[in-house]
Amino acid sequence: MVRIKVPATTANIGPGFDSLGCALSLYAVIDFEETDAGLLIDGCEPAYQNEENLMVAAYDLTMKRLNMQRKGLHIRFHSDIPISRGLGSSAALLVAGSMAANVLHGNTLDKGEILDICNQIEGHPDNVAPAIYGGLTASLVEADKPYSVRYPINEQACFCVLIPNFQTSTHEARKILPAQVDFKDAVYNVSRTAVLCRALETWDEELLTIALNDRLHQPYRSQLIHEYDKIRQICLKHGAAAFFISGSGPTCIALSKHADFSKRLAEDLKQCRHLWQAIDLKADLKG
């Protein structure tokens, strides 16, 4: 039996579309045990207790890489990562499944190979990379192969995640994006992404505010998130250094150096039409 603990992740981080990601202090803890008796998954909705489950898909693809075949598998699942909210719940399942197969069969694959396997299923590496390596990561894909590097992140960084009581689909949130972008907008994002990586380390708050702006996805996706403008105003009014959509949404993040930032928002969030849960998280650096 092996127990895998894998973090939630926030992808894009403003301008770094499909590249930047950060692991957060919110987790799924999953036990995997090989048995002689088919597939058994406890702890998740019945609709996910089957071969289609992403943990199983990643487990099987990893077994294939190891030239082995799965026999029976018992999975006991517990997760605090909300589903379809933009906090990397799918990536967490993929990473857990792949790491479990690897650990149970000799631990011969390195993190780069786990990343490659997970990216084959997910299609973009910006959630799986931080879930594997921990901390802040930047990733790219060349000829179907993902590459990731880690950046230091200031220990003051506090990610107040605002999770609404509605879901959005990543598929829909990708479909809404334009097929082409203006050259000036590409430059706007490239320059901000480069500066942001350093500003997250030094915690230059003026630079963070500017560098976290984005023209590639948030102007389109904010339309899919009810009360986006209102939530943004609330967070900025209470002193957030920056506000951005987590992954493809609908969760939004207020970045600040205040470890209890959610408390500042509590009264104003009560005035919203939708229920927004605010949770204070830190970057998870362990990997």
Binding mask 75-114 for ligand HSE (x = CB under 6 A): ----------------------------------------
- Closer Cβ to ligand HSE, 2 or 181, answer by number: 181
Contacts of 10 (CB under 8 A, 6+ apart): 21, 22, 24, 86, 87, 88, 159, 161, 246, 247, 251, 253
Of residues 119, 248, 251, 256, which one binds ligand HSE by CB under 6 A? 248
Binders of ligand HSE in range 2-31 (CB under 6 A): 11-12, 18
Task: Give the whole-angstrom CA distance, residue 115 versus residue 132.
Answer: 7
Which of 151/203 has CB closer to ligand HSE?
151
Element (H, E) at 138: strand 136-142
Nearer to ligand HSE, 116 or 214 (CB): 214
Of 249, 189, 246, 233, residue with least CA distance to 215: 189
- For the question of residue 10 being annotated catalytic, the response is no
174 lies in the site for ligand HSE, by CB under 6 A: yes
Residue 122 is among the residues annotated as catalytic for this protein: yes
Residue closest to 9 by CA, chosen among 173, 115, 127, 162:
127
Query: How many residues belong to the site for ligand HSE (CB under 6 A)?
Result: 12
Instruction: Pick one of 15, 135, 247, 250: the residue that binds ligand HSE (CB under 6 A).
Output: 247
Q: How many CA atoms does the CB half-sphere of 116 hold within 13 Å?
A: 11
Strand partners for 137:
21, 150
Q: Which of 9, 62, 122, 168 is catalytic?
A: 122
Q: Residue 158: beta bridge partners?
A: 256, 282
Q: How far apart are the first and last CA of the chain?
A: 20
Residue 217 or 238 having the CB closest to ligand HSE: 217
Distance between CA atoms of 243 and 235, rounded to whole angstroms?
7
Residue 183 C-beta: closest distance to ligand HSE, Å: 21
Interaction with ligand HSE in 107-146: which residues (CB under 6 A)? 124, 126-127
Residue with Cβ nearer ligand HSE (248 or 256): 248
Annotated active-site residue in 170, 193, 227, 251: 170
User: Could you write out the three-class secondary structure of 220-255?
Assistant: HHHHHCCCHHHHHHHHHHCCCCEEEECCCCCCEEEE
CB of 248 to ligand HSE, least distance (A): 4
Give the residues lining the site for ligand HSE (CB under 6 A): 11-12, 18, 124, 126-127, 170, 173-174, 217, 247-248
What residues are labeled active site?
122, 170
